[in-house]
Amino acid sequence: MAQRSMPRLPLFSQVAQPRITATTLDNQTKADHTLRIAPTTVELDRSHILSTIGYNGSAPGPVLRMREGKQVTVDIINDTDTPELVHWHGMLIPPEVDGTEEEGSPLVPPHAQRRIQLTPGPAGSRWYHSHAMAMADLHKGAYTGQFGFVYVDSGDNPGAYDQELFLAVRDWEPFFTGTMDDEDDDTHNGLLLEKPATMNTDPDGLEVGSMTYSINDKALGAGEPIRVRQGERLLIHFLNSSAIENRRIALAGHKMKVIAMDGNVVPTPQEVDSIFIGAGERIDVLVEMNHPGIWILGSTEKMIRESGLGVVVEYAGQHRQPQWIDPPKTPWDYTIFGKASSASPVPQQTIELIFEKVPGGAGKFNLWLVNGKPYPHEREFVLEKGTRYRLIMRNRTDDAHPMHLHRHLFELVEINGKRTAGVIKDTVVVPYYGRAIVDLTADQPGLALFHCHIQQHMDYGFKALFRYS
């Protein structure tokens, strides 16, 4: 057969592609919020100007303020060449809008847009971020600048503060490495309740490290300082938006009073010298500005702080170099923010979740198992609506994992054998060879993804789908 001559398409078309509208909703009216996903630059400091993907031309994206229970429309415009998903972390919303492919949320195709409707809740510090898989591509998913705060207002904010700050802790310029030291992982000193008697001593695969760090979009010393006056009270919303690491953060010369975790008010607020914040977690603190000077708020690890993870806090009328003071090395303990007994019903059923690592060996990636196998899990985790469950997470790996359950809140019951109650979260760091026990009520029918918030761990098996019967 004679070959027909086909018009050659240019390899890289400069012609604007038509925008597909992947929704049937009325697009004539303006949405309450618009998130445009597109390439952007982030100037960490004058010598580090990074190219990444952000929201509305910045990274982090705008702080979105929503009213609890008041339905909003959000237009998600994807101006990139790959499908994207915007996940609303910590919100109790249906799987169709949760922004997770595994739960069946529709992808936003390349150069297309999608309008979603959601009813924000519960009140508190939530966040939005890409839930795309990245696998071996360190320019995708949570490695990019696709993250931002959503603050859901309840309408009864007592306003007991002078300044409100949203600070996202972040790392940039990820790279693969065969020699990762997890100095931030201060859970090594725990009880090691889940340490196996015999260890797999095969060599580890490649992990992900970072070159540069920031709080929001600026490296330490590069942006404007946080300007304060003596006697002021700061409300700081912290978010660890890292795809890679848990972090410990302190404000030199000051204590911070933890009042909420993952946006939910804790039963027993406590003053601490530093906070430990897992990837995906949020911690709200109040700080009394009672120690005039010029201070650094940042990572307690010198190398990380000096590579950018910090911001200067400057009292009015002070002139000197910013000071850092190492805080006492008190182990982080979620249970001190709880109370003695729970007001919730006693769980009717128990689900065991055993986490293991299969070392990948040189040049490959590790594989992560939940109950003996990587994702997918077909019908292992089936919830019955209205039932209260106890999840027992047994971490048989040499790493601390921030485990997140979508579309649900859980109550901490026990961390490494220490009991607590009343601490409501959506993400919990299960300690190095340790154990975390949480209870939840199955009250959000539909698929719900459970996964480690370290992108590489999630991509290589460390996730499971919870479904309803």
Question: Rule CB under 5 A: which residues touch Cu ion?
Answer: 401, 452, 454, 457
Least gap, CB of 272 to Cu ion (angstroms): 24
Cβ of residue 286: shortest distance to Cu ion, in angstroms?
30
Give the up-direction half-sphere exposure of residue 247: CA atoms within 13 A in the CB hemisphere.
33
Task: Report the nearest approach of Cu ion to the CB of residue 129 (Å).
Answer: 16
Minimum CB–partner distance for residue 190 and Cu ion (Å): 16
- Tokens 């979620």 map to which residue? 334
Q: Which is nearer to Cu ion, 105 or 366 (CB)?
A: 366
Residue 238 or residue 460: which is nearer to Cu ion going by CB? 460
List the beta strands (DSSP E) in 79-232. Answer: 86-89, 112-118, 124-130, 147-153, 163-177, 207-215, 226-228
Return the ∠ at Cα 383 (arms to 381 and 384), rounded to 5°.
155
d(CA 242, CA 172): 9
CA 407 – CA 445 distance, rounded (Å):
9
Query: Both tokens of residue 133?
Result: 């898989």
39 CA to centre of own chain: 21
Whose Cβ is closer to Cu ion: residue 124's or residue 402's? 402
Angle at the Cα of 245 from the Cα atoms of 442 and 193, rounded to 5 degrees: 65
Judged by beta carbon, residue 219 or residue 400, the one nearer Cu ion is 400
Residue 455: phi, psi to the nearest 5? -55, -45
Tell me how far apart the 2 most distant CA atoms of the chain are, in Å. Answer: 86
**Which of residues 390 and 457 has its CB atom nearest to Cu ion in the complex?**
457
- How many angstroms separate the first and last alpha carbons of the chain? 56
Instruction: Give CA–CA dist 409/438, Å, rounded.
Output: 10
Cβ nearer to Cu ion, comparing 279 with 289: 279
Nearer to Cu ion, 401 or 404 (CB): 401
Where helices occur in 128-286 by DSSP H, the ranges are none
Residue 358 Cβ, how far from Cu ion at the closest point, in Å?
A: 13
| Least distance CB 452 / Cu ion (angstroms) | 3
CB of residue 399 to Cu ion, shortest distance in Å: 6
Q: Which is nearer to Cu ion, 215 or 454 (CB)?
A: 454
Place of tokens 């000096």: 306
Amino acid in the structure at residue 102: E
Of the pair 86, 452, the CB lying nearest Cu ion is at 452
Beta carbon of residue 206, minimum distance to Cu ion (angstroms, whole number): 15
Q: Which runs of consecutive H residues, i.e. helices, occur in 241-334?
A: 302-306
- Exposed, middle or buried by CB within 10 Å (0-12, 13-18, 19+), for 417? exposed
Closer of 196 and 386 to Cu ion (Cβ) = 196
The minimum distance between CB 367 and Cu ion, in angstroms, equals: 12
DSSP per-residue letters across 439-457: EEE--S-S-EEEEESSHHH
Report, in Å, the least distance between residue 382 CB and Cu ion. Answer: 24
| Cα–Cα distance, 434 to 396 (Å, whole number) | 7
